Amino acid sequence: MSRFSVQTSSHLSRTGWIGAGLLVAGPVIAAIGWWVFSAAVAAGASPGSIDDGARAQFIVGVLMLIIGAIAAPAGLVAVLVGRSYEHDVEVRQ
């Protein structure tokens, strides 16, 4: 009768580490974008506002929200793709 012993380890490649960073940074970027966007709206800014500074703040907030919304799922995919596994199998008789 044979017995098997399997030890598995997983590691992240460069893609995996970038994905982990995006997964953490995405919500942070979106939160900062929401804060900038909320401050711009509270100041009365809109895409058609006359004040260029308020409009720029509004657009920066929206862009940060979009970037944060894309970064988190992209990071999750990159973490899944950037994993590698090593298996050590030992067979005992």
The total of structural domains in the chain comes to 1
CB atoms within 10 A of CB 62: 16
The model's pLDDT over 1-19, given as tens digits with 9 standing for 90+, comes to 778 888 999 999 999 999 9
Give me the pLDDT at residue 4, please.
87
The model's pLDDT over 31-86, given as tens digits with 9 standing for 90+, comes to 999 999 998 888 876 666 667 777 788 889 999 999 999 999 999 999 999 999 99
Backbone angles phi, psi at 81, to 5 degrees: -75, -35
Which domain range does residue 13 map to?
3-92
Site of tokens 């997964």: 23
pTM as predicted? 0.75
Helices 14-42 and 52-81, interaxial angle, to 10°? 160
